[in-house]
Structure 1
C-alpha cells in the first residue's frame, strides 16, 4: 500500500537526516511514488513527521524501587534490541525542529514523573529519574547515532547487565562516600 511505503520512507529518512534535511521529494523517491501523493495522504511535511517521529511510550512505571529500576532497564533493553526508528527521527530532529524537541521532552518527562512518583520519599527523586533518562538517551544516541565503538555492536543483554547496578544504585539513591579532599594525605608547602 502506498501510504505504508510513504510512512516507512519518512521514518527512515527523518531518522537518518533529521527534519530540516528531509524533503517531501526525497520521501516520495524513497517510497517510489509521486510527491503529490505524499501531500494528498499527509497534507504537509510537519503532519507526516508528527505521524512517524514518536518517542516510544512504555507501560506505566510503578512499584517498589527495585521494580522501577527493572522496568526502566527493560525499556532501555527494548531500545537497544530493536532500533527505535521513530524515536531516532525525533531525537535527530529535536535540535532543529521545535515540535520534535517538545515531543521528546514530553515523553521523557512523562516517564520520569511516573518513576519519580514511585520512588518518592526524598528530595532528589526527580534528579535520580532524570539521570536515568539521560543515561538512556545517551545510550540510544551513542549506539545508533554516534556509533560508539563497543556500544554500537554490543549485545543488548550485555548493555543491560552492565547498567543494572548503576540503575539500581541511582533509583535507590545509594550515596557514595564523599571524594577525598585534595589536601588529605599531603602536607602544605614547606611542611615535612
Structure 2
C-alpha cells in the first residue's frame, strides 16, 4: 500500500491510466467519457482533469505510456501491457492523432513529433527488457515499429484483414513475435 503522498499520487495516476486504456480500447475515443474513466478508477472526474487536462491528453498519455513492470517481473507482464496498448490503438484513435500519423511522412514538424513520441516509447520498452537482453534498444524499436505498423494498417489504410479482425485476435497472433523480441536470452 503506497504510504507517501507521492506514492499515492503515482498509484492514482496509474489507476486512471489503466482504466482509460481499458475503456478507450473497448469503446474507442469518441464513446469514452472522462466520467466513465473516473468511475472505473474510483476517483472524481475533476481529478482526472487535474492530472491530464483533457480527454485528448488522457488518451495520448494512455497510448504513449508503456507501463514498466516492476524489477524482477517476467516479460509476460510487459508483453501483456504492449498488446493491451495495441488493443487501445485499434479501438479508435482521435482525429488529432490520425492527422499527425497521416502527416508524419510529409511534414517535418509532424515527423519530429512522431520521432520524439516513438523514441520515448522505445526508451520505455528498452528499460523494461531483462538486463541480460542483447540489443535492448533495437529490440524495443522493433516492438514499437511492429505495433505502429499494425495501427497504421488498421486505422489509416483500413486493410481488410486488420480492419475486420477483432483486436484480441490480432494481439493473440502477434504475441509470439512480441515475446520473442522481449524474452531474455536462453
TM-score, length of structure 2 as denominator length: 0.59
Q: Distance in 2 between matches of 1:59 and 1:171?
A: 14
Gapped regions of structure 2 (runs ≥ 5): 1-56
Query: What is the RMSD computed on CA atoms of the aligned residues?
Result: 2.2
C-alpha distance in structure 2 between counterparts of 1:135 and 1:129, whole Å: 10
Q: How is 1:44-83 mapped onto 2 (pairs within 5 angstroms)?
A: 56-58=63-65, 60-63=67-70, 64=73, 65-83=75-93
1:102-121 equivalent positions in 2, closer than 5 A:
102-119=112-129, 120-121=131-132
Aligned to 1:167: 178
Whole-Å separation in 2 of the counterparts to 1:70 and 1:121: 20
Tell me, in whole angstroms, the C-alpha distance in 2 between the residues paired with 1:172 and 1:85: 35
Residue 146 (structure 1) aligns with: 157
TM-score by length of 1: 0.57
Return the alpha-carbon distance in structure 2 between the equivalents of residues 174 and 153 of structure 1.
35
Contact 1:62 1:114 survives alignment (8 Å):
no
Deviation at 1:134, TM superposition (A): 1.0
5 Å matches for 1:21-100? Answer: 56-58=63-65, 60-63=67-70, 64=73, 65-100=75-110
Render the CA deviation track for 1:84-107: whole Å, top value 9, x for unaligned: 433221111112211111111111
User: Greater helix percent: which structure?
Assistant: 2
Q: How many residues align?
A: 123
Report the Cα distance in structure 2 between the residues aligned to 1:90 and 1:173, rounded to whole angstroms.
34
Counterpart for residue 136 of structure 1: 147
Q: Is the 8 A contact 1:77 1:157 kept in 2?
A: yes
Contact 2:133 2:185 (C-alpha < 8 Å) held by counterparts: no
Indicate the structure (1 or 2) with the bigger Cα radius of gyration. Answer: 1
Q: What is the Cα deviation at residue 174 of structure 1?
A: 6.0
Q: Are the counterparts in 2 of residues 61 and 111 from structure 1 also a CA contact under 8 Å?
A: no
2:138 pairs, out of 94, 113, 127, with 127
